[in-house]
Amino acid sequence: MRKAWWRPRSGEAADSSAAVPPPLAEAAEKLMAEAVQALSQDDDEAFRCLVAELDDRPGVPGWTRAADRCAATRLRRAVTMAWERAWQPADVVRFTGRRLTARHGRLVIDAIAAEMRAYSAATVDDQWREQLADLGAEVWWQDDAERPVAWCEREGVNRATLVACTLELVHLLEGLPRLASIGPPPGTPRREAPAPSRERAREVDQRMLAKVRALLAKAESTEFPEEAEALSARAQELIARHSIDHALLAAETGDRGGPAGRRVAVDNPYDAPKAVLLTVVADANRCRAVWHRELGFSTVLGFPADLAAVEMLFTSLLVQATAAMVHAGPKRDALGRSRTRSFRHAFLNAYAARIGERLRDAAGEATNQAAAGAVGKDLLPVLAARDRAVEQAVDTMFPNLARGRAGSVSNYEGWVAGRAAADLASLNGRSEVTGASRLS
């Protein structure tokens, strides 16, 4: 991973706050506050006027520099606030794209890269490092003072657009709700270096995940349903066996590591049945999923060895389900009215229900085989203890979680087609929080 976000801020000395006269800084801060307030009140006209004033004040030397510094400071503070509320980089970028635009998404990635320079590498968790690498959150500009001009040139927009995007992003980030923490924020010193045994276990995990990834890629690309089913079943078998091996090894070595968490995107359209699919995949693999409907993701809790596999399997099954659903084509009733949406909603619900049945059967079979082969090892109590640990983590993290009912289905044809597609797919329900519910 490139580590450009650890580079010291350039131009700090030349562009210090002392270089901006206090009256200009105060005026810029006041206008920014009024602009964010205008967004909160849906006052578009006032917002446009304030953007124009922040963009340029003819005849006022140093105004552009003052406004740029104020914007950068407030945006950086908004990103820090997101970390304090337990949001992670991928969550912030995903939510920004959901609520605003792709351009805002690119701006927030740059803001994250700028903010991350405040933390030493030793205080950034591995999960954060992976997310930053996946997002490409890197300092690509040469000098902080020239960054606004460089950004506008890269995006092909004028400065007023940058001002508006920054204000809209600040408004969004400052209004983020507090989430349950699923890992240490940046700036948290690591308690200890990973033990050699844990490093070796991580290498084994990566090799297993590479095998699963290869099997699922073949399942997604094949034109033959039976082959896809066999490949995905083999992937689920590997995942289940690996999870059991991990549980036994942890019990033997006295590893006290507990459940962890990660957030998985659950996007529109048809987000409810997609959340069901993620939940059944999680349940079958000794994890639990809680759906945050308004935020567009689920929090999945489980032991680290299982979480990556759950996300990978869910993504692959969703690809296979979507391909089968689209292949079924548009649907109309006897009067020629479109029934495509209800068909697809029913299709995905049925697919998730049937996949849940198949995954539970596959997981049960893997457990039985492992128990039969675990001579001198009491496997079932070990697995039961891990299940209790995950349930306790859910109860602790979401103490007010209420169980909800799965959505209704109104298209019988879609339900039948979805179950048929699940039978052919290569291998728990609905969870919701912030108005939260979970179906296990």
Peptide bond into 269 cis (omega under 30): yes
Does residue 120 lie within any of the structural domains? yes
- At 288, the amino acid letter reads R
Helix (H), strand (E) at residue 290: strand 288-292
Does residue 284 lie within any of the structural domains? yes
List the one residue out of 78, 83, 39, 32 whose CA is nearest residue 173: 78
Does residue 191 lie within any of the structural domains? no
Does residue 189 lie within any of the structural domains? no
From 174, 206, 221, give the residue that closes a domain. Answer: 174
Whole-angstrom distance, CA of residue 364 vs CA of residue 360? 6
Residue environment code for 101-133, b if the CB has 16+ CB neighbours within 10 A, otherwise e? eebbbbbbbbbbbbbbbebeeeebeebbbebbe
Whole-angstrom distance, CA of residue 105 vs CA of residue 84? 20
Residues 200 and 102 in one domain: no
Residues 372 and 225 in one domain: yes
How many residues are present in the chain?
Answer: 440
List the one residue out of 428, 228, 234 whose CA is nearest residue 321: 228
Helix (H), strand (E) at residue 302: strand 297-302
Residues 157 and 27 in one domain: yes
Does residue 107 lie within any of the structural domains? yes
Does residue 180 lie within any of the structural domains? no
Residues 51 and 155 in one domain: yes
List the one residue out of 215, 214, 244, 245 whose CA is nearest residue 230: 215
Q: Which domain holds residue 276?
A: 196-438
Residues 376 and 235 in one domain: yes
Check: CB of residue 261 under 8 Å from CB of residue 301.
yes
Check: CB of residue 1 under 8 Å from CB of residue 134.
no
Residues 251 and 212 in one domain: yes
Residues 56 and 141 in one domain: yes
How many domains would you assign to the chain? 2
Q: How many other C-beta atoms can be found within 10 angstroms of the C-beta atom of residue 210? A: 10
From 128, 143, 174, give the residue that closes a domain. Answer: 174
- At 246, the amino acid letter reads H
Residues 65 and 25 in one domain: yes
- At 424, the amino acid letter reads L
List the one residue out of 415, 264, 298, 394 whose CA is nearest residue 352: 415
φ and ψ at residue 121, rounded to 5 degrees: -60, -30
pLDDT tens string, the chain, 440 residues long: the values are 334 444 544 444 334 444 678 899 999 999 999 999 999 999 999 999 999 999 999 889 999 999 999 999 999 999 999 999 999 999 999 999 999 999 999 999 999 999 999 999 889 998 999 999 999 999 999 999 999 999 999 999 999 999 999 999 999 999 999 999 999 999 988 765 555 455 556 666 788 888 888 988 888 888 777 787 778 778 888 888 888 888 888 888 877 788 999 999 999 999 999 999 999 999 999 999 999 999 999 999 999 889 989 999 999 999 988 888 888 888 887 777 788 888 888 889 888 888 888 888 888 888 888 877 765 577 888 889 999 999 999 999 998 876 655 454 444 455 445 555 555 565 533 333 333 434 43
Residues 290 and 145 in one domain: no
Residues 8 and 141 in one domain: yes
SS3 call for 300 = strand
Determine the distance from the C-alpha atom of residue 130 to the mean position of all C-alpha atoms in its chain, rounded to a whole number: 12
Does residue 190 lie within any of the structural domains? no
Does residue 184 lie within any of the structural domains? no
Write the CB contacts of 386 (distance below 8 Å, at least 6 apart in sequence). Answer: 247, 286, 303
Residues 233 and 125 in one domain: no
- At 295, the amino acid letter reads L
CA geometry: angle at 310 spanning 309 and 314, to 5°?
A: 115
